[in-house]
A and B are shown apart, each in its own frame.
Chain A
Amino acid sequence: MDPGRFFASSRVLIVAGKGGVGKTVSAATIASAASRSGRSVLLVEVAGRSASAPIFGVEPQGYEQVTAVDETEQDDPPRGRIVLQSITPDQALMEWLTTHGFKGIVTRMASSGILEVVATATPGIKDLLVLGRIKAFESEGSFDLIVVDAPAAGHALGFLRSPAGVRDAARTGTIHRQAVEVLDLISDPTRCQVVLVTIPEETPVNELIETSFAIEDEMGVRLGPVVVNSVLPTLAGLDADLVSLDVSDAERNALQTAVTFRAGRAALQDEQLTRLGAELPLDQFRLPQLFSTTIGPDELAVLTKALLAEIEALPEVES
């Protein structure tokens, strides 16, 4: 499929997954690939600390928007800009109250702890309001694509469940209307898709499969392709005869350790990738494992190229 077309299929992509599967890197890679396809991208992080700024080699700026990549005309197609935006749930709640006619009491509510009671009375309200901010970005239309690095640590489901939860808990009032609007967004596949991230190991694959069915069945949210991170590249020549190589014994032992380890990991990984494909009928975008110590702009470029190739390998779909 043409990447430009892929990234035009919905304006919001929510990238979700458990901790430790490289969700932030995947979200950055998706943003970068979209930019390479000429789309302007807002990359929204829902967390206390900005983790994606270093990936783009820029300084995080708290809750201000940071331009990570400028648009350029030289490339073909022209690159779209990437802007980073960090949102915290507390901040989303305060902003929402301020812009919905509760400005006068926000400070008083916050200092008296009443905000916490509002949050308690309406579970999911903060997650909902984060999604509400994302919906606002969508309606503003300043960007072709909004990529959301969703909260980690097992909260992906809670995050996506929040609008329905709040809609049912608060059956009237301003917040109820907000919940309904956000539900409209996340359940409309032409506006929003969820991209789940995993790594090719047993537990993360199990969790991905469970989460996928929960999201589609319970929430009616459309799942896009799955990103599988840290896939070991296939290496030719692993069956070479080590005895015939002109190396020392220590070197031969080291080579043997490396070959045994690599072959073992590759076999386990293939088993998990096959199982994932059999149990979950979604396309897979496989991103290579990088053997570097940190992920910066150079590594991002490698991953971006790999993702674009994976998108191009998808069959074209009827529009």
Chain B
Amino acid sequence: MSTATFAELLAQRQVVIVCGTGGVGKTTTSAATALAAAEAGRRAVVVTIDPAKRLADALGISELGNTPTVIDGPWPGLLAALMLDTKSTFDEVVRRNASDDDQAERILSSRFYRNVSGTLSGTQDYMAIEKLAELYDSGDWDLVVVDTPPTRDALAFLEAPQMLSRLLDNPIYKLVTAGNRGVFGIANKAAQTVVRQLARVVGAHVVDEAVAFFQSFNGMEKGFKDRAEATLALMGDERTAFVLVASPRSDTLDEARYFLDRIRQANLDAAAVIVNRMLPSTGLSLTQAQLLHVSLAATDGAGVSRALLDLATASAADDDRVADLAEAAPHAVLATVPMLADDVHDVDGLRVIADLLTR
């Protein structure tokens, strides 16, 4: 385990990407991370994805928004949050890259585009990263924290910036854009065969729409590629910290280890591992709790000693699993947050977590 602290990490980095499976408190951790940075005097903004309603209300970001909302509070720095609007962000990306308004409108009005922007897997990741790049480039923020969409695969997020350029690198795109007179104008014979077969699978109009969509992208590839490369560089160097959030339940810790492996496949490493929902320590070892339960089994203390044994058993298991995870991430800062009595739905609750993270 690294000897650095989470507070040091927040002071050094400019981007924090918070990953992990669903149900481990990722959004709350992201918001608390930004708050901790604001408390340390930094200008911090957090991009949240689908936060729980009460937390969103508390942060004043219940409406989808593409600009940060500043949250007032007694911290020396600046804290702002936004809830990612995938569709609007995608529209902005298209407008920014289009050579003129006509091209932008052609793309935005296509049904294929609406499918892609709304439902293509990875779109949300891609737009979260677009938003990250935009906030980073603005120069308004010392730290940009990004909550990632719940996914099984950390690499989906890392690969997101290349999604569109990869789509545009696709051979079918190249084939269909070689001609410019719609499906039946495709000059290349091999391309025609492929397109006809596709039409049998999904119906001719889907192929028509896809072809028109690809053709309307003509000339925009470079903008996407440049952006993807710049963002990948940002995520890949020391400006960015990947923070993995987990809970001590065995299934989510398995997922966390899988995440670590996948992140490493991309030659990256987690800078911090945060384990939420740790059970309280009883102060006794598991063996002591077992012995006490045996000695109290026939007394009025049977119920309370059962409660102790249950807690000690679960807590010992948590500790073992967290130790294993820490071993699997030798270079990461480890921070644990105890299980709290209630979900966090206000800024005071976030401050409690921010303090626990940076203690």
Interface residues of A (CB under 8 A from B): 18-22, 24, 47-49, 51, 97, 100-102, 105, 108-109, 112-114, 116-118, 120-125, 152-154, 158, 165, 169-176, 201-204, 206, 235-238, 240-242, 244-245, 247, 250-251, 253-255, 257-259, 261-262, 264, 268, 291-295
Whether B305 and A97, one on each chain, are in contact in the complex, defined by CB atoms closer than 8 angstroms, is: no
Q: Supply 9 A–B pairs (Cβ within 8 Å), ascending by A.
A: A19-B21, A20-B251, A108-B194, A118-B198, A121-B206, A123-B118, A169-B206, A203-B23, A261-B311
Whether A153 and B152, one on each chain, are in contact in the complex, defined by CB atoms closer than 8 angstroms, is: yes
Would you give the shortest CB distance from B85 to chain A, in whole angstroms?
Answer: 17
Query: Nearest chain-A residue to B316 (Cβ)?
Result: A293
A305 to B112 Cα, complex, angstroms: 50
Would you give the shortest CB distance from A9 to chain B, in whole angstroms?
Answer: 29
| Contact residues in A for B308 (Cβ distance below 8 Å) | 254-255, 257-259
Known A173-B201, A242-B304; further 10 A-B contacts with Cβ < 8 A: A20-B252, A114-B170, A120-B116, A121-B202, A152-B21, A153-B151, A238-B303, A247-B301, A257-B308, A259-B304
Query: Nearest chain-B residue to A108 (Cβ)?
Result: B194
A158 to B150 Cα, complex, angstroms: 13
Query: Nearest chain-B residue to A230 (Cβ)?
Result: B249
Whether B311 and A262, one on each chain, are in contact in the complex, defined by CB atoms closer than 8 angstroms, is: yes
Q: From B210, B296, B320, give the contact of A245 (CB < 8 A).
A: B296
Residue of A170, A242, A254, A262 contacting most chain B CB atoms (<10 Å): A254
| Contact residues in A for B197 (Cβ distance below 8 Å) | 102, 105, 109
Q: From B24, B320, B341, give the contact of A264 (CB < 8 A).
A: B341
Given contacts A20-B24, A165-B119, whether A245 and B204 have CB atoms under 8 Å apart is no
A101 to B197 Cα, complex, angstroms: 10
| Contact residues in B for A112 (Cβ distance below 8 Å) | 170-172, 194
Whether A237 and B23, one on each chain, are in contact in the complex, defined by CB atoms closer than 8 angstroms, is: no
| Contact residues in A for B120 (Cβ distance below 8 Å) | 120, 123
Query: Nearest chain-B residue to A49 (Cβ)?
Result: B258
Whether B250 and A262, one on each chain, are in contact in the complex, defined by CB atoms closer than 8 angstroms, is: no
Given contacts A18-B22, A173-B199, A264-B341, whether A257 and B282 have CB atoms under 8 Å apart is yes
Whether B300 and A245, one on each chain, are in contact in the complex, defined by CB atoms closer than 8 angstroms, is: yes
Given contacts A242-B304, A262-B307, whether A117 and B210 have CB atoms under 8 Å apart is yes
| Contact residues in B for A153 (Cβ distance below 8 Å) | 21-22, 150-152
Q: From B23, B53, B321, give the contact of A19 (CB < 8 A).
A: B23
Whether B24 and A250, one on each chain, are in contact in the complex, defined by CB atoms closer than 8 angstroms, is: no
Given contacts A102-B197, A245-B301, A250-B283, whether A291 and B314 have CB atoms under 8 Å apart is yes
| Contact residues in B for A253 (Cβ distance below 8 Å) | 283
Whether B52 sits at the interface, judged by CB under 8 Å, is yes
Whether A114 and B203, one on each chain, are in contact in the complex, defined by CB atoms closer than 8 angstroms, is: no
| Contact residues in A for B311 (Cβ distance below 8 Å) | 257-258, 261-262
A122 to B202 Cα, complex, angstroms: 7
Whether B206 and A291, one on each chain, are in contact in the complex, defined by CB atoms closer than 8 angstroms, is: no
Query: Nearest chain-B residue to A294 (Cβ)?
Result: B250
A171 to B53 Cα, complex, angstroms: 37
Whether B205 sits at the interface, judged by CB under 8 Å, is yes
Whether B48 sits at the interface, judged by CB under 8 Å, is no
| Contact residues in B for A251 (Cβ distance below 8 Å) | 284, 288, 292
Q: Which of B23-73 contact A (CB under 8 A)?
A: 23-24, 50, 52-53
Whether B115 sits at the interface, judged by CB under 8 Å, is yes
| Contact residues in B for A170 (Cβ distance below 8 Å) | 202-203, 206
A173 to B200 Cα, complex, angstroms: 6
| Contact residues in A for B204 (Cβ distance below 8 Å) | 172-173
Closest 3 CB pairs of A and B: A237-B303, A20-B23, A173-B203
Whether B310 sits at the interface, judged by CB under 8 Å, is yes
Q: From A24, A123, A240, give the contact of B251 (CB < 8 A).
A: A24
Given contacts A48-B152, A202-B342, whether A257 and B251 have CB atoms under 8 Å apart is no
A244 to B304 Cα, complex, angstroms: 13
Query: Nearest chain-A residue to B258 (Cβ)?
Result: A49
Q: Report B236-277 CB contacts with A as 1/0, cut-off 8 Å.
A: 000000000001011110010010000000000000000000
Whether B306 sits at the interface, judged by CB under 8 Å, is yes
Whether A113 and B310, one on each chain, are in contact in the complex, defined by CB atoms closer than 8 angstroms, is: no
Given contacts A122-B202, A251-B284, whether A235 and B303 have CB atoms under 8 Å apart is yes
| Contact residues in A for B303 (Cβ distance below 8 Å) | 235-238, 240
Whether A152 and B202, one on each chain, are in contact in the complex, defined by CB atoms closer than 8 angstroms, is: no
Q: Report B182-221 CB contacts with A as 1/0, cut-off 8 Å.
A: 0000000000001001111111111101100000000000
Would you give the shortest CB distance from B189 to chain A, in whole angstroms?
Answer: 15
Whether A51 and B119, one on each chain, are in contact in the complex, defined by CB atoms closer than 8 angstroms, is: no
Whether A118 and B202, one on each chain, are in contact in the complex, defined by CB atoms closer than 8 angstroms, is: yes
Whether B299 sits at the interface, judged by CB under 8 Å, is yes
Whether B292 and A247, one on each chain, are in contact in the complex, defined by CB atoms closer than 8 angstroms, is: yes
Whether B343 sits at the interface, judged by CB under 8 Å, is yes
Whether B167 sits at the interface, judged by CB under 8 Å, is yes
Given contacts A172-B203, A294-B250, whether A255 and B305 have CB atoms under 8 Å apart is yes
Whether A123 and B201, one on each chain, are in contact in the complex, defined by CB atoms closer than 8 angstroms, is: no
